[in-house]
């Protein structure tokens, strides 16, 4: 699908962006990285000399539009975002400018410039959100669905997923480092659960969502969740050291359990056959899906507390795989 195509990745210097670059270069695609971090772009070019780098902010529509007019991407992966939950609670307008207005700019430029498909990377925090970050991503999802509804040709979709092990900002490398140094860990709540999967799984999820998108859907992967004490036990085995922790309570914007799919969305949810994906169809749409490729989702509401695994050995292997990938 991607051989001899041009792919633009916003925020391409982040963990997911770099994972997408590695995978898509193997499929012989031309990659354009659009981000505002020139230092990390320079590092990327040293590692992947064939990529094209463009310094720009998703808040800047003119730069996005010019970039697309010059490089004519066939596909766009919109990974650029402000995503630190507690920081955005204190600087909400900055999150809104990047995650909402920036996403609108990416979608509008993609539509104007005839991009074939454009995928927004969202978050499990957008479902039943209690944070500015999650709410900004939920609105971005709705923008992409609306662009799809009004688009004569460009297909738009969104992808939600959970915490990527060892990605930039992940708590797992921090916990491992603290255990190694004998420091006390800080947990927010012993009952807290989080969806966890590896960077390569995240890359596969995003690529498969774009491949299978008909238009306007929100995709979610079928993944397991783990409580924080289970994570600590797995990290103790990896570090071969005991850990101590204290409980500080929820931070601003945090939830005890994350959601991928709520009860209202479940009525619009379908499993995509031969994949690990579920998609949520838009409440208003002019698209049609081939029934043979989907089955109606009849599982539990996709909240992390409903999919908790206490298998420490399983999680230990998952974390090791995630760390090695990064």
State the pairing for strand pair 155-159/163-164.
Answer: unpaired
- Does the annotation mark 125 as catalytic? yes
Q: What's the token pair of residue 5?
A: 């195509």
C-alpha 126/C-alpha 123 separation (Å) is 6
Query: Residue holding tokens 């990416």?
Result: 106
Q: Which of 125, 287, 288, 320 is catalytic?
A: 125
Question: In whole angstroms, what is the distance from residue 126 CA to residue 164 CA?
Answer: 16
Q: Hey, what's the torsion of the CAs at 172, 174, 176, 179, to 10 degrees?
A: -130
Query: Cα–chain-centroid distance for residue 244?
Result: 31
Q: Are the CB atoms for 1 and 7 separated by under 8 Å?
A: no
N residues, the chain: 326
Rounded Cα distance, 326 and 319, in Å: 11
**Chain CA centroid to CA 299, Å:** 22
CB 265 within 8 A of CB 296: no
Rg of the chain taking only CA atoms, in angstroms = 19
End-to-end CA distance of the chain: 25
User: In sequence order, which residues have a C-beta less than 8 Å from that of residue 50 and are 6 or more positions away?
Assistant: 25, 30, 31
Number of neighbouring beta carbons within 10 Å of residue 225: 25
In 3D space, the residue among 123, 160, 309 whose CA is nearest the CA of residue 225 turns out to be: 309
DSSP 97-133: IIIIIHHHHHHHHHHHTT-SEEEEE--GGGTT--SHH
Q: Which residues are catalytic?
A: 125
């Amino acid at each position: 699908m991607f051989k001899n195509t041009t792919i633009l990745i916003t925020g391409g210097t982040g963990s997911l962006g770099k994972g997408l670059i590695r995978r898509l270069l193997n499929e012989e695609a031309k990659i354009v990285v659009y981000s505002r971090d020139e230092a990390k772009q320079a590092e990327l070019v040293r590692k992947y000399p064939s990529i094209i780098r463009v310094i720009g902010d998703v808040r800047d529509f003119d730069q996005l539009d010019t970039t697309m007019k010059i490089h004519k991407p066939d596909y766009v992966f919109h990974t650029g975002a402000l995503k630190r939950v507690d920081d955005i609670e204190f600087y909400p307008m900055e999150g809104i400018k990047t995650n909402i207005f920036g996403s609108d700019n990416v979608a509008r430029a993609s539509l104007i410039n005839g991009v074939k498909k454009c995928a927004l990377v969202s978050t499990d925090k957008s479902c039943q959100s209690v944070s500015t970050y999650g709410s900004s991503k939920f609105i971005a999802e709705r923008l992409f669905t609306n662009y799809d509804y009004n688009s004569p040709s460009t297909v738009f979709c969104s992808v939600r997923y959970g915490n990527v092990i060892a990605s930039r900002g992940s708590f797992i490398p921090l916990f491992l480092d603290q255990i190694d140094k004998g420091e006390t860990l800080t947990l927010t709540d012993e009952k807290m659960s989080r969806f966890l999967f590896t960077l390569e799984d995240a890359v596969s999820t995003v690529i498969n969502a774009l491949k299978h998108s008909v238009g306007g859907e929100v995709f979610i992967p079928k993944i397991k969740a783990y409580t924080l004490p289970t994570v600590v036990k797995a990290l103790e085995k990896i570090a071969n050291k005991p850990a101590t922790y204290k409980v500080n309570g929820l931070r601003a914007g945090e939830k005890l359990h994350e959601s991928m799919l709520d009860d209202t969305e479940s009525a619009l949810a379908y499993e995509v056959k031969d994949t690990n994906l579920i998609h949520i169809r838009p409440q208003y749409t002019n698209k049609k899906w081939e029934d043979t490729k989907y089955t109606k989702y009849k599982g539990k509401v996709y909240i992390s507390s409903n999919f908790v695994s206490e298998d420490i050995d399983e999680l230990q292997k998952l974390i090791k795989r995630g760390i090695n990938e990064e």
